């Protein structure tokens, strides 16, 4: 097992990539705190993990709320005694809206879930991990939208660029000299999940800006989970502040 006895929080664990990450980590020996805004989804994931011989507990969380983030971090420590791994996976897309068309409400919603929430979770996690002799590992699920300007609307693109910046700053500040904490990011391309359900009315100008250079193929949630496992475990112990693109070659063209 690659994560024996380690305590891992996975946000957005009720479906898609988060579910795959939580399930894989549990199979690799981690004690998983599965967090999601969808209580029914969390209950199903936790039940499946525990039925399969893993160990997991679930908690309903709105990642954009400070009190929910504190509750989530506290649940990991009070239930399992430590926090070794934080996976910031919860996220939403926008309607590919360019800056001239974006409302304050949509900006605040996307930034709140995709960037403010991970910031608050990282802040709480770092202050626990830096006191542990073993440190800890943070993996932020960014996007190819965090590497380029036309892989989403302005709110989504800004949120994912910001998440990559957050990752690199944590890595450079809390590395071996500052707390033995590693932080890395994954930049997925198209993945077969339900995140697209947050795209309710795509903006025509935003779609035109993206052009016709769509992904050659979509990946599966477990494709991203395997990368997250690598970054969370000891096999990547010398990797800190990196962004791994996992898009099937979409952005290599």
Q: Is the pLDDT of residue 239 over 70?
A: yes
Between residues 5 and 207, which one has the greater pLDDT? 5
Question: What does the pLDDT average to over 41-61?
Answer: 98
C-beta separation of 184 from 146 below 8 A: no
pLDDT band at 178 (very low <50, low <70, confident <90, very high): confident
Question: How far apart, in whole angstroms, are the C-alpha atoms of residue 146 and residue 169?
Answer: 15
Residue ranges of alpha helices (H) inside the chain are 16-27, 39-51, 66-80, 104-111, 117-129, 154-173, 204-210, 221-232
pLDDT of residue 193: 84
Residue 174 among the catalytic residues:
no
- Based on DSSP, count helices (H) and strands (E) in the chain, helices before strands: 8, 7
> Among 9-18, 115-124, 213-222, which is the least confidently predicted range?
213-222
Classify residue 91 by burial, with Cβ atoms within 10 Å: 0-12, 13-18, 19+.
buried
pLDDT of residue 15: 96
pLDDT of residue 80: 98
Q: Pick the closest to residue 151 from 115, 189, 108 (CA basis).
A: 189
pLDDT in tens, 4-39: 999 999 999 999 999 999 999 999 999 999 999 999
- The residues, any chain, with a CB within 8 Å of residue 75's CB and separated by 6 or more, are 33, 57, 59
- The neighbour count for residue 81, using CB atoms within 10 Å, is 9
Catalytic hit among 156, 160, 189, 206: 156
Q: In CATH, what class is 7-252?
A: alpha beta
Mean pLDDT (the chain, rounded): 93
- Beta bridge pairs of residue 243: 185
Secondary structure (3-state) at 210: helix
pLDDT of residue 220: 96
pLDDT of residue 214: 64
Task: Compute CA 145 distance to the chain's CA centroid, rounded to the nearest angstrom.
Answer: 14
pLDDT in tens, 62-119: 999 999 999 999 999 999 999 999 999 999 999 889 999 999 999 999 999 999 999 9
pLDDT of residue 207: 66
Q: Is the pLDDT of residue 208 over 90?
A: no
Q: Pick the closest to residue 147 from 158, 133, 136 (CA basis).
A: 158
Question: What does the pLDDT average to over 115-141?
Answer: 97
238 HSE (CA, 13 A, CB side): 0
Question: What does the pLDDT average to over 192-216?
Answer: 68
pLDDT band at 195 (very low <50, low <70, confident <90, very high): low
């Amino acid at each position: 097992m690659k994560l024996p006895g380690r305590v891992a929080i996975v946000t957005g664990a009720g479906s898609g990539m988060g579910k795959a990450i939580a399930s894989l980590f549990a199979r690799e020996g981690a004690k998983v705190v599965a967090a999601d805004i969808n209580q029914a989804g969390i209950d199903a994931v936790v039940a499946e993990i525990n039925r399969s011989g893993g160990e997991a507990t679930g908690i309903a969380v709105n990642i954009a709320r400070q009190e929910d983030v504190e509750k989530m971090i506290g649940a990991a420590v009070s239930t399992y005694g430590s926090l070794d791994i934080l996976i910031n996976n919860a996220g939403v897309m926008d309607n590919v809206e360019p800056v001239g068309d974006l409302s304050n409400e949509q900006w605040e919603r996307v930034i709140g879930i995709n960037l403010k929430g991970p910031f608050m979770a990282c802040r709480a996690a770092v202050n626990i991990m830096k006191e542990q002799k073993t440190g800890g590992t943070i993996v932020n699920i960014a996007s190819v939208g965090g590497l380029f300007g036309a892989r989403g609307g302005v709110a989504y693109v800004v949120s994912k660029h910001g998440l990559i910046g957050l990752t690199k700053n944590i890595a450079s500040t809390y590395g071996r000299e500052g707390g033995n904490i590693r932080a890395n990011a994954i930049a997925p391309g198209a993945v077969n999940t339900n995140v697209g359900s947050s795209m309710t009315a795509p903006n025509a100008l935003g779609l035109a800006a993206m052009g016709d250079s769509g992904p050659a193929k979509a990946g599966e949630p477990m494709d991203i989970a395997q990368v997250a496992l690598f970054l969370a475990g000891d096999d990547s112990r010398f990797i800190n502040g990196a962004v791994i693109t996992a898009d099937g070659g979409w952005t290599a063209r």
